[in-house]
Amino acid sequence: MSGEPNTSDKERVIFHVDLDAFYVEAERQNDPSLIGKPVVIGGIGPRGVVATASYEARKFGVHSAMATAVARRLCAQAIYLRGNHDLYRTVSKKFMNILREYSPNVVPVSVDEAYLDMTGTERLYGETIDTADQIRKAVRDQLGLPASIGIGPSKLVAKVSTEHAKPDGVFQVRLQEAESFFAPQPVRNLPGIGPKTGATLAKLEISTLGQLAAAPVGPLRRALGPNHADYVQRRAKGIDNAPLKERVKAKSISAETTFETDVSRHSELEKVLKSLSERVGTRLRKSGLRARGASIKLRYGDFSTITRQRTFVAPGDGDQLIYDTAHTLLVTAMRARGDAIRLLGVSVTGLGEQAAQLSLLDQNPMSDSDTSEALDTIRERFGSEAVSWGSV
């Protein structure tokens, strides 16, 4: 909203840097013949899912998380590629290194986006907007890739600002502008508000962030629960005091649920197992790590508890890999003991650097890990239940 310098010495300056159509643009650096053409990357088989699409393909309605079969009907003339995991990781490392030249506090979010704390750097680089342009130019000159940068006093405001910077631009919202900037936007533009919360707010006749910020607290708390209501109402005003720091790397990542009544039906257990696997997978990818194996935890009606684990053929972070492994363990455990289950949990273990080599046995790297990253983006924007892997 403004290119003027920040007026408060205490105001944080957070950059959210996002590489536009990253997979496509990285492929174009390898093959310039793709420039200017509609390109779709993802699973290219009959059950494939789009990981990303070039802006030329998006004009035809193609978007991330869409079934590739649907994308082919919308844009048959597009070039469909499976993708190159190793290429993307190599380019991602170079991208993060460029960002670290401007700030010691860089927090990667995924292979193609990161936050930077640029507070107090005006004396080093000049005005905030000019610094953002310097970073974009460095990324363009060194990697040949376009980048969009959102600038705000917090991670939340910077993140939302980036959508207004796309494609290949810069957009800044200062602290005193944040609430008015958020006010006219649809509630679904707020990260973390998905279809379910959006529908609940619609019943309260709340459609914009300004209406959400000004809504009576009582009805909102009854509809969303007190903690969630207070959280989203605060964020609807552009308020976000979360520190900018990398998460402590855990040795494992897990999720579990306790059933209201013990469950023995395979179909119900498999549904919950899929949801838990996706939750674990999302957290794993956000950590920037890959896991060497997965395990399940089962607690029966008599409170006896067992765990079973299995090592992956190669380190991974995809939802389908986690679910398939956990499902095999669940089936084996239920064959050994068919009692109803009180608690079900999934975890991934042996966490290591994401740059681990893909196994030569992996003939379709884009079908799981990269597609899961695409689904993460959809879930973050539209809610955890907006999209999920289908059942075979």
- Cα 114 off chain centre by: 11
Give me the helices (H) in 255-368, please.
266-287, 319-336
3-class secondary-structure state, position 207: coil
3-class secondary-structure state, position 221: helix
Half-sphere exposure of 242 (CA within 13 A, CB side): 19
Query: Which residue is it, tokens 């649907």?
Result: 70
3-class secondary-structure state, position 233: helix
On the question of a cis peptide bond just before residue 167, with omega within 30 degrees of 0, the verdict is yes
Q: Cite the active site residues.
A: 113
Give me the helices (H) in 39-175, please.
55-58, 68-74, 85-100, 122-125, 128-143, 155-165
3-class secondary-structure state, position 151: strand
- H helix or E strand, kind and range, residue 229: helix 226-236
